[in-house]
């Protein structure tokens, strides 16, 4: 009698498992970029294009704006150095690749451009979104805030 019950329970389990939906199986999926990721990439690309326009027009003000830094003496000096090195060459963008490899508000941009003389410009930037606006990290000499020390790069003394 007990053996019949076990067989009946086993049969019921087989039938029940055959009738239940297969919710445990993974469904195939195609991952397409979301529209918000695409919009973010487009906006970050616009920042790269603004950088190239600032170089071509030799505009320190535009360069400071795309860099997302304050218009101060230090940023003006650095903008002038960048423009002296790369400005006014008639850069034409050949390729821009944006990757949001550090989150939705931070990523990297690769720029390939060519000047009027055929010289290539290859550069990689960190792109950041701050208050909805995308900026390129092109300024490296930003002074530390008053009262804050910058990170030390010296070898520690024992």
Whether residue 134 contacts residue 47, with contact meaning beta carbons closer than 8 Å, is answered with: yes
pLDDT at residue 16 in the model: 44
The DSSP code sequence of 84-100 is: HHHTTS--EEEEEEEE-
Q: Which residues are within 8 A (CB) of 42 and not within 5 positions of it... i.e. 6 or more apart?
A: none
pLDDT of the residue at 124: 94
pTM, rounded to two decimals: 0.67
| The pLDDT of residue 100 | 87
Structure tokens at 25: 């199986």
| Helices 73-86, 35-57: inter-axial angle, 10-degree rounding | 80
pLDDT score of 156 more than 70: no
Is the pLDDT reported for residue 22 higher than 80? no
Confidence tier at 143 by pLDDT (50, 70, 90): confident
Q: What is the mean pLDDT of the chain?
A: 77
Per-residue pLDDT reduced to its tens digit, 83-99: 999 999 999 999 999 99
Query: Which among 88, 55, 62, 91 has a CA at the least distance from the CA of 76?
Result: 62
């Amino acid at each position: 009698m007990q053996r019949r019950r076990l067989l009946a329970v086993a049969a019921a389990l087989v039938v029940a498992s055959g009738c239940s939906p297969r919710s445990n199986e993974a469904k195939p999926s195609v991952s397409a970029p979301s529209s918000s990721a695409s919009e973010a990439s487009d906006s970050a690309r616009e920042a790269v294009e603004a950088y190239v326009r600032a170089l071509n027009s030799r505009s320190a003000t535009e360069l400071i704006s795309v860099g997302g830094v304050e218009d101060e003496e230090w940023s003006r000096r650095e903008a002038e150095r960048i423009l002296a090195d790369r400005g006014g060459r008639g850069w034409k963008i050949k390729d821009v690749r944006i990757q949001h490899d550090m989150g939705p508000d931070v990523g990297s941009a690769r720029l390939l451009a060519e000047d009027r003389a055929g010289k290539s410009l290859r550069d990689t930037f960190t792109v950041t979104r701050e208050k909805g606006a995308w900026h390129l990290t092109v300024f490296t000499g930003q002074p530390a805030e008053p009262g804050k020390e910058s990170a030390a790069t010296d070898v520690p003394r024992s």
